[in-house]
Amino acid sequence: MAYIIGVDIGTTSVKTILYDNNGKIIESANLGYPLYQDTPDMAEEDPDDIFSAVTNGINTVMRKSKIAANSLKGVSFSCAMHSLILLDKNKKALTRAITWADNRSAKYAEQLKQSDLGLKLYKNTGTPIHAMTPLSKIIWLKNEKSELYKETKYFIGIKEYIINKLFGVLKVDYSIANATGLFNIFNLDWDKDALALTGLKKENLPELVDTTYKLKGLKKEYAKVIGINPKTPFIIGASDGPLANLGVNAIEPGVLAITIGTSGAVRMVSKKPRIDPKGRVFCYYLAKDMWVIGGPVNNGGIIFKWIRDQLCLPEKVTAEQMHINPYSLLTTIASKVPAGSDGLLFHPFLGGERAPIWDSNARGSYFGLNQMHTRAHMIRAALEGIVFNLYTVSLALEEVLGTPIKIQATGGFVNSNLTRQMLSDIFEQNVTIPDSVEGTALGAATLGMYSLGMINELSDVKNFVHSNNTYTPIKENVDVYRELSSIYIRLSRQLMTEYDQIAAFQRKHSRIR
Ligand code: ADP
């Protein structure tokens, strides 16, 4: 038997999974690390913590599985997008990893977004102009931390940091590069306008390689620590969003992947890079002739968590006393209310929002409250609001790629029958829930197998992804949601003009920032 390891470097943890060549999980490890938030808009991680989680993760699955070192054919990486680390001329880190969630460049991102250059950059890089991107972060550093900026020789991300430590080379795959906002999706090279704007030259960035690129020459000291043969090739892999599509077998045109964990995303694959004239969706590289187009939302399961903790504390306590999962109790309560929550609507923008409105000042609201509404209505309306929001992202995506034909859904939010059926009813599509929850690591492993010739086509992933769980739309619910979603969208447009005002008020008067 031959084996491969998929390493998924996430925002909160590294998931390391050992698969056999049939895509079966043999062993796994999940190692977390802290997020540093000295100020509310900061979100950094120590790259050496992440490096340790990667090496310990591989070591753990090798040790636990007891497979022979020679039967491990490769290690392949997925990584969270948009991180930035500054290195000096000796490749020493000058900063921690500034993650996608870091918002300190918001002012510069907003200015750029309002300019013609902003739109041109989006159209050439496929990356929405936003504080999450290294492009915005570099502009912020150049303006506000100029000493640090001047001292910096290399601008890299977390995956490149790890690869440099293991192999002593600075290389970045097209997929991670794509998400920096500095990469031209039409010529697969660093974008000249983005370089000019940030003041960077190509030599300040890692060398670009395809996502199937094999790294060889693992440093002996690390091979020993990790417990693998130093000749084992590492496949550079891609970023987590595109690999999630691969790992749930959503790579055929028309198959929509929906992930709803803490945050969420909807994505679909296209043979060619495509952009949205209105700048609402991203276009990220997965592999040759495979581009993943979609939109990320901030407000996924985190909203349900807020409902659990702020609105439903009594239910949470009861659930804990009864030793049942509070989310399960809340979905049971919500399922007593009919689809459409008797006309109560919820806009879930508690954390500002990325796609489809791209407005960090957006705020949440209940609309349509009357005296008949109960807490159960408020729970259900919040769940429906999360799904309506994702549905509006898919409408933007439809304008670029056409109507989807089916949906593959993953993430903690689709752990209940209620939310699965809600997705099917609001999207008016069949929704399939794949058995394996770790789609991203499987995506990395599949890309690695393809690079190593262990499978012939990326579409062979269909042999690895199984499911017996498909939900079909219920006609009465569809009718209700169709009527309600048009109110949701109209209202959303009207509220947009007020978000700046209320956010400014909150910044000025609120004790809670
Ligand atoms: P992460 O993005 O951190 O990997 P998960 O995929 O584990 O997150 O999703 C966590 C979220 O899933 C929680 O915030 C919660 O909102 C949601 N969730 C957990 N259990 C359920 C459930 N039974 N029904 C609906 N949503 C759930």
3-state secondary structure string, 120-161? HHHHHHCCCCCCCCHHHHHHHHHHHCHHHHHHCCEEECHHHH
User: Candidates 324, 335, 410, 413: which one to mutate for ligand 1, based on the most atoms within 8 Å of Cβ?
Assistant: 413
Q: Between these two residues, 438 and 172, which has the higher pLDDT value? A: 172
| Residue 113 one-letter amino acid | K
Nearest CA to ligand 1 atom 3: 262
In terms of Cβ atoms closer than 10 Å to its own Cβ (0-12, 13-18, 19+), residue 416 is: buried
Q: Residue 91: which region, alpha, beta or left (left: phi > 0; alpha: psi -120 to 50)? A: left
Position 483 scores a pLDDT of 98
- Within 6 Å (CB) of ligand 1, which residues are found? 261-262, 301-302, 304-305, 327-328, 331, 411-413, 415-416, 419
- Report the candidate in 146, 178, 165 with the shortest Cα–Cα distance to residue 79: 178
What sign for the dihedral angle of Cα 256, 251, 295, 19? positive
pTM: 0.94
Residue with tokens 């497979």: 67
Compute the distance from residue 261 Cα to the ligand 1 centre, in Å: 5
Domain 3-247, classified CATH 3.40.47.10, yes or no: no
Residue with tokens 């020459």: 217
Compute the distance from residue 388 Cα to the ligand 1 centre, in Å: 17
Other CB atoms within a 10 A radius of the CB of residue 215 amount to 19
Other CB atoms within a 10 A radius of the CB of residue 335 amount to 19
Nearest CA to ligand 1 atom 19: 412
Averaged pLDDT of the chain: 96
Nearest CA to ligand 1 atom 26: 413
- Cα distances (angstroms) measured from residue 385 to each of 25, 342, 364, 377, 472: 35, 14, 10, 12, 20
Residue with tokens 């998400």: 179
Residue with tokens 């169709």: 482
Position 436 scores a pLDDT of 79
State which ligand 1 atom lies nearest to the alpha carbon of 410. 6
Distance of CA 115 to the CA centre of its chain: 27
Position 437 scores a pLDDT of 73
Distance of CA 495 to the CA centre of its chain: 27
Q: What is the SS3 assignment for 336-405?
A: CCCCCHHHCEEECCECEECCCCCECCCCCEEECCCCCCCHHHHHHHHHHHHHHHHHHHHHHHHHHHCCCC
Helices (H) and strands (E) in the chain, counts: 17, 23
What sign for the dihedral angle of Cα 52, 57, 63, 64? positive
Contact predicate 81/176, CB 8 Å: yes
Residue with tokens 């698969």: 19
* Stretch 388-394: mean pLDDT: 98
Position 12 scores a pLDDT of 87
Position 171 scores a pLDDT of 98
Position 434 scores a pLDDT of 94
Q: How confident is the model at residue 385 (pLDDT cuts 50, 70, 90)?
A: very high
Over residues 21-36, the pLDDT tens digits come to 999 999 999 999 999 9
Over residues 431-485, the pLDDT tens digits come to 999 987 778 999 999 999 999 999 999 999 999 999 989 999 999 999 999 999 9
Q: How confident is the model at residue 513 (pLDDT cuts 50, 70, 90)?
A: low
Q: In the predicted model, is pLDDT for residue 512 greater than 70?
A: no
Compute the distance from residue 51 Cα to the ligand 1 centre, in Å: 26
Position 16 scores a pLDDT of 98
* Stretch 285-298: mean pLDDT: 97
State which ligand 1 atom lies nearest to the alpha carbon of 12. 3
Contact predicate 122/184, CB 8 Å: no
CATH of 298-401+476-509, one of 3.30.420.40, 3.40.640.10, 3.90.226.10, 3.30.1490.190: 3.30.420.40
Domains 3-247 and 298-401+476-509 share a fold: yes
Nearest CA to ligand 1 atom 14: 301
Nearest CA to ligand 1 atom 8: 261
Residue with tokens 């508690």: 350
Rounded distance between C-alpha atoms, residue 402 and residue 394, angstroms = 10
Compute the distance from residue 416 Cα to the ligand 1 centre, in Å: 10
- Report the candidate in 79, 118, 117 with the shortest Cα–Cα distance to residue 100: 79
What sign for the dihedral angle of Cα 229, 80, 470, 456? negative
Position 373 scores a pLDDT of 98
DSSP 71: G
Over residues 410-435, the pLDDT tens digits come to 999 999 999 999 999 999 999 999 98
Contact predicate 138/152, CB 8 Å: no
Instruction: Report strand pairing: 290-297 vs 264-270.
Output: antiparallel
Enter the tokens of residue 510: 């609120």
Q: Domain locations in the chain?
A: 3-247, 298-401+476-509
Percent of the chain with pLDDT over 90: 96
Distance of CA 188 to the CA centre of its chain: 22
- Report the candidate in 186, 202, 171 with the shortest Cα–Cα distance to residue 121: 186
Position 354 scores a pLDDT of 94
What sign for the dihedral angle of Cα 273, 109, 97, 362? negative
